[in-house]
């Protein structure tokens, strides 16, 4: 077991590539939609999706200690921390998860499911971008399938172990595609529509 001093040293010297930290804002997607939160966005991703609307290039190298310090100003106002990317599980580890939870944060992790989760978090939001045989993540709290579903992921993940299941229309700058509503009507099970609230109300 690491001593307190060794743990503090590791916190100072373990480095992560962070794109941005911002808030307070609202979670705009999935089960926690409308919940006040802060975003910790990791840089870089293992996929290059033509429909991706997130800038995760570049970024700043920060220690675990520096990340906690940057988050301190939000404490007391919000309790949920959304860890996203890019793909956060390319970097996120038990050291940082434990440090964040010890500092009182509830963690909502957003992932594409292609990397192993180092340890449990409070809420896993899983949005697959590839077929199921390439997925390592074994379960999630919220499963989010993007629409249009060009890879037929709805069928592939129909029986995936998820507490909540959502269909989320992609923002192509053309406004909300109402055709997706008919898709939700015809789905078996407890699938729900998840429009991107933050874009509809104009918050980051």
Q: What total of structural domains would you count in the chain?
A: 1
If pLDDT is split at 50, 70 and 90, which confidence band does 89 have? Answer: very high
Report pLDDT for 1: 45
* pLDDT above 80: residue 189: no
* pLDDT above 80: residue 51: no
| Rg, the chain, Cα only | 17
Determine the average pLDDT of the residues in 147-171.
92
By annotation, the residues acting in catalysis are: 39, 45, 49, 52-54, 110, 198
* pLDDT above 80: residue 16: yes
The domain containing residue 26 runs over which residues?
A: 4-46+53-201
Gap between the Cα atoms of 68 and 46, Å rounded: 25
Report pLDDT for 172: 64
Q: Which residue do the tokens 């990317």 mark?
A: 85
Domain CATH number, residue 105: 3.20.20.70
């Amino acid at each position: 077991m690491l001593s307190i001093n060794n743990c503090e040293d590791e916190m100072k010297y373990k480095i992560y590539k962070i794109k941005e930290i911002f808030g307070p804002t609202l979670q705009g997607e999935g089960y926690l939609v409308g919940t006040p939160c802060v975003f910790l966005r990791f840089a870089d991703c293992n996929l290059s999706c033509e429909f991706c609307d997130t800038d995760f290039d570049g970024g700043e190298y920060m220690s675990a200690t520096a990340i906690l310090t940057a988050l301190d100003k939000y404490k007391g106002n919000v309790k949920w921390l959304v860890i996203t990317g890019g793909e956060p599980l390319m970097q996120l580890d038990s050291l940082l998860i434990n440090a964040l939870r010890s500092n009182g944060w509830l963690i909502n992790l957003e992932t594409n499911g292609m990397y192993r989760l180092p340890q449990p978090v409070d809420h896993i939001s899983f949005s697959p971008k590839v077929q199921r045989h390439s997925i390592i993540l074994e379960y999630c709290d919220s499963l989010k399938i993007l629409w249009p579903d060009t890879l037929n992921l709805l069928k592939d993940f129909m029986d995936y172990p998820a507490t909540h299941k959502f269909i989320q229309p992609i923002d192509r700058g053309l406004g909300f595609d109402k055709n997706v509503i008919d898709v939700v009507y015809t789905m078996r099970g407890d699938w729900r529509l998840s429009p991107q609230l933050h874009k509809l109300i104009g918050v980051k």
